């Protein structure tokens, strides 16, 4: 286990923190919201590509060195701090991981370079209900002679409102709920029969319902083994949960820092409110949880990079702890700011709204607690 960043990862972290602070502050998200851009931000994407952030886990040459998921985790933590809406989790983490774990040489050659260059964005079209349930897939992919025909509706697809490509989780065999019979497909946004319904979401990041109505894809669109796509999907979702946990850690840290600053400046009864013990103890408890969650996220990122066998367990630990943390901290951030916290002009509300989206995606704390218990045999 290593909790110490390499020098390169440390530099990457500093660059990402500075970029988030200077180029993607919360006011930037507010502007995107007010201008109706709905989290779709091509100008920032271009800058992220120039910094090389899309290719952090993609080696220049096959088998080459990368910053690893630990490196990407630093960037996601940085963007979490300012709630930045970027395609990094969907494209640089999920799509890059899925292609690396399950892609054919041709798929890798075509897409990994484009992802690294920021020339293609992806979205994982997974959920079909309002709750994360990754094997509960009804979207059908039927063999049609020259490939497959897809039919089904995917709900709340993050980045689905602007992504160039979808990774569609579909069923080639069995019934909803079966692990066996799931297959993954690469589907261009422009494919005939794809309808994207953009969604205005509470966190101002946006998302989309995506409908696949008789969408034909060739054999070469299959990503990973037919029927056993869960062998790719599950480890990808573990990485997604870890990446999201890193982002949540950043959001929780920023909301906590903001709260602390307020406690140290707001006066009532002639006293700084931070001098009241009731608030001091809550802050101290939040800090303890923050420190413990930081350890879980770091351990999970390292487990992914080191190919540890307890990856699933650590992924669930990190996502559940980060979920509980960001929930508590974002609520207390609003509460401790008092009336100011209820206003749209202040930032606490942005953190609380984004927190609920972060909590729901890739498994709620409750979903991951259940899995953690199962993995531990009870």
Binds another protein (CB under 8 A): choice among 254, 296, 312, 355: 296
Binds another protein (CB under 8 A): choice among 125, 298, 326, 328: 298
Nearer to another protein, 30 or 179 (CB): 179
Residue 258 and residue 255: Cα distance in Å, rounded? 5
Which positions ≥6 away from 166 have C-beta within 8 Å?
Answer: 122, 123, 124, 125, 154, 157, 160, 186, 187, 188, 189, 194, 210
Shortest distance, position 370 Cβ to another protein, whole Å: 8
Q: Would you call 114 helix, strand, or coil by DSSP?
A: helix
Query: Using the rule CB under 8 A, is 268 a contact of another protein?
Result: no
Query: Using the rule CB under 8 A, is 373 a contact of another protein?
Result: yes
Q: How many CA atoms lie within 13 A of 183 on its CB side?
A: 25
Shortest distance, position 59 Cβ to another protein, whole Å: 27
Query: Using the rule CB under 8 A, is 374 a contact of another protein?
Result: yes
183: β partners:
170
Q: For 333-358, what is the HEC assignment?
A: HHHHCHHHHHCCCCCHHHHHHHHHHH
- In the DSSP assignment, the letter for residue 189 is T
Binds another protein (CB under 8 A): choice among 293, 330, 358, 364: 293
Shortest distance, position 286 Cβ to another protein, whole Å: 9
**Beta-strand runs (E) in 27-172:** 122-125, 140-143, 147-158, 165-171
Segment near another protein (CB under 8 A), from 36-44, 80-88, 202-210, 279-287? 279-287
Of 298, 373, 293, give the one whose Cα is nearest residue 326.
293
Shortest distance, position 330 Cβ to another protein, whole Å: 18
Query: Using the rule CB under 8 A, is 317 a contact of another protein?
Result: yes
Query: Using the rule CB under 8 A, is 46 a contact of another protein?
Result: no
| Residues at the site binding another protein, with contacts judged by CB under 8 A | 1-4, 260, 263-264, 270-272, 274-277, 279-281, 283-285, 287-288, 291-296, 298-299, 317, 320-321, 366, 369-370, 372-374, 376-378
């Amino acid at each position: 286990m290593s909790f110490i960043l390499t020098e390169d990862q440390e530099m990457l972290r500093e660059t990402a923190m500075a970029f988030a602070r200077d180029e993607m502050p919360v006011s930037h998200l507010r502007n995107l919201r007010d201008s109706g851009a709905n989290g779709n931000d091509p100008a920032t994407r271009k800058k992220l590509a120039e910094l090389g952030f899309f290719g952090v886990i993609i080696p220049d040459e096959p088998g080459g060195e990368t910053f690893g998921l630990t490196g990407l985790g630093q960037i996601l933590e940085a963007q979490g701090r300012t709630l930045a809406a970027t395609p990094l989790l969907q494209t640089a983490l999920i799509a890059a991981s899925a292609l690396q774990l399950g892609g054919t040489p041709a798929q890798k050659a075509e897409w990994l370079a484009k992802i690294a260059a920021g020339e293609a964005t992806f979205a994982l079209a997974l959920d079909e209900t309002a709750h994360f349930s990754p094997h509960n897939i009804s979207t059908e992919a039927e063999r049609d002679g020259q490939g497959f025909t897809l039919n089904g509706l995917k709900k709340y697809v993050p980045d689905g409102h602007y992504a160039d490509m979808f990774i569609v989780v579909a069923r080639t065999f069995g019934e909803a709920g079966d692990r066996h019979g799931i297959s993954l497909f690469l589907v261009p946004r422009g494919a005939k029969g794809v309808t994207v319904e953009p969604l205005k979401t509470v966190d101002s990041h946006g998302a989309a319902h995506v409908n696949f109505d008789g969408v034909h894809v060739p054999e070469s669109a299959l990503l990973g083994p037919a029927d056993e796509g869960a062998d790719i999907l599950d480890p990808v979702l573990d990485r997604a949960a870890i990446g999201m946990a890193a982002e949540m850690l950043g959001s929780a840290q920023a909301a906590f820092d903001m709260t602390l600053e307020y406690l140290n400046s707001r006066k009532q009864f002639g006293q700084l409110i931070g001098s009241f013990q009731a608030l001091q103890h809550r802050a101290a408890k939040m800090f303890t949880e923050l420190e413990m969650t930081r350890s879980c996220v770091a351990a999970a990122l390292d487990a992914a990079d080191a190919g540890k066998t307890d990856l699933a367990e650590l992924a669930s630990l990190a996502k559940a702890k980060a979920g509980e943390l960001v929930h508590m901290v974002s609520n207390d951030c609003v509460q401790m700011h008092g009336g100011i916290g209820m206003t749209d002009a202040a930032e606490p509300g942005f953190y609380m709204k984004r927190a609920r989206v972060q909590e729901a995606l890739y498994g709620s704390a409750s979903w991951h607690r259940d899995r953690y218990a199962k993995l531990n045999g009870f």
